[in-house]
Amino acid sequence: MLIQPRRRWLLPVMLGGLIVALLSTSLWLWHRSTPANDDAPVTVAKLAAQDFFTLNYLHPDADLDRVLSRAADPFKAQYSAQRDAVKQGLVDKKLTLTAKVPENGTALEYRSGDNAQVLVAVDATTATGDGHSETNRYRVRVRLACEANGWLVTDLTQVG
């Protein structure tokens, strides 16, 4: 039996269409299952670390409130419990702390769903009322959770 020339191209075209459809579907499903590659947790971790190491005895309440505005429990409860002691230490010693995260000073360590963990390097300068100044580099691990109002810090721990 001879295959008619017209039908000879039909099978390869149908198989090609099926392969394209399967690849497209696979790509679409893979893309949907991959979390968004946004930098929101890294950005929030960087700002939270800067806020944590930026305090001024002239306006301690505003600085402490800024730290708490990016916080969720259990970090929020722990920081709130230490608030008065931190404020008193700032005012008594007339301390001014300023922080800067160097370029490339952040690294996303872990992210899964609504949880993330970011390493942040912070250069913190502490100035006392008598004019003495000292700069130190800290490395902190910031754990975050994505809640209704965005990414919030659940833990901030010095790691180096």
Among 1-15, 17-31, 49-63, 72-86, the least confident range? 1-15
pLDDT of residue 74: 94
For residue 55, what are the β-bridge partners?
A: 97
Share of the chain above pLDDT 90, in %: 61
For residue 7, the model assigns a pLDDT of 64
pTM of this prediction? 0.72
* pLDDT tens digits, 83-132: 999 999 889 989 999 999 999 899 999 998 899 999 999 999 999 888 88
- Spell 128-160 as b/e; 16+ CB within 10 A means b: eeeeeeeeeebebbbbbbbeeeebbbbbbeeee
Look at residue 36 and tell me whether its pLDDT is greater than 60.
Answer: no
- Residue 24 phi, psi dihedral angles, 5° rounding: -65, -45
